[in-house]
Structure 1
């Protein structure tokens, strides 16, 4: 149930990502190993919830900061050198980045995908249910 405080509601996602990153010792992994861990594990944890709910921007920003700190090896403290910003690391590999996702933009893309499914297949059970509950008088784009 999403209540009034969305940060508190989605705090479990942040703690799951933090636990997963804490489980891997940062000194034992190479830079490539950290990249794979972040792309495959840490960015996949919030993806299901992101496909259903709009996450607060601050939560996405905090998750990006946690992953950036882990990437550069100063996970436990806020001090240390971050050699490249998360924005630069999020650029495609062709443009000089490492291809990490910006979680807020990824969240918007997943929600847009759900909206596209509702528009393209209005006879599906999910579309009928959501239409009856949230927009019974008009089309989806008017809701």
Structure 2
């Protein structure tokens, strides 16, 4: 409870214990789980829902965990270039700035975007008239300027690393330093 109270003071956030849930690892036995629940006053166990659009339980394989991105992208894309760029960025930027997505997921996302780009009717498949790498080139180099998803993911993570190096006394840097 000291840690929870300290977090509340440091962040300025109040924790709603009625809405909160706890997520335990597989190695935590039932007795210890109940002791922690009683000490915190939280009886709900989580792991099934989402928080900020990311599944709470991240213990499954990353390919399964992030497969929701492909589904979200397929359901949201309704236009062409502008929508692809804005929707792709809006749907995936937060996740990609936090996690390194598996190459398979990056390829699946690129595939969804490519299928949409080359088709006149999104469910129908059409001929891809240029390699995806060419489409992702800047306009000055003959491309459309779409992003290579894996490289964009790496760039966002590098930005987070740069922030940790530049601001070693930030809250997130102190938390990570304390944890790792």
TM-score in terms of structure 1 length:
0.81
Contact kept? 2:70, 2:112, Cα under 8 Å: no
Could you say what the CA RMSD is over the residues aligned between the two structures, in angstroms? 1.3
Residue 18 of structure 1 deviates from its aligned partner by: 1.0
Pick from 123, 135, 160 the counterpart of residue 76 of structure 1: 123
Structure 2, unaligned runs of 5 or more: 1-56
Q: Deviations over 1:47-98 (max 9, x none)?
A: 10000000011101110011011001163244x3111121101001100000
> When you count helix as a share of all residues, which structure comes out higher?
1
Moved over 6 A (4+): none
By relative contact order (CA 8 Å, sep 6+), the higher-ranking structure is 1
Pick from 143, 147, 168 the counterpart of residue 122 of structure 1: 168
Whole-angstrom CA distance in 2 between matches of 1:14 and 1:64: 9
User: What is the count of residue pairs matched by the alignment?
Assistant: 123
Aligned to 1:65: 111
Residue 15 of structure 1 deviates from its aligned partner by: 1.1
The structure with the largest alpha-carbon Rg is: 2
Whole-angstrom CA distance in 1 between matches of 2:67 and 2:104: 11
* Residue 137 of structure 2 is aligned to residue 86 of structure 1: no
TM-score in terms of structure 2 length:
0.65
Aligned to 2:59: 3
Is the partner of 2:90 in helix, strand or coil?
A: coil
Aligned to 2:86: 40
Structure 1, unaligned runs of 5 or more: 25-32, 135-143
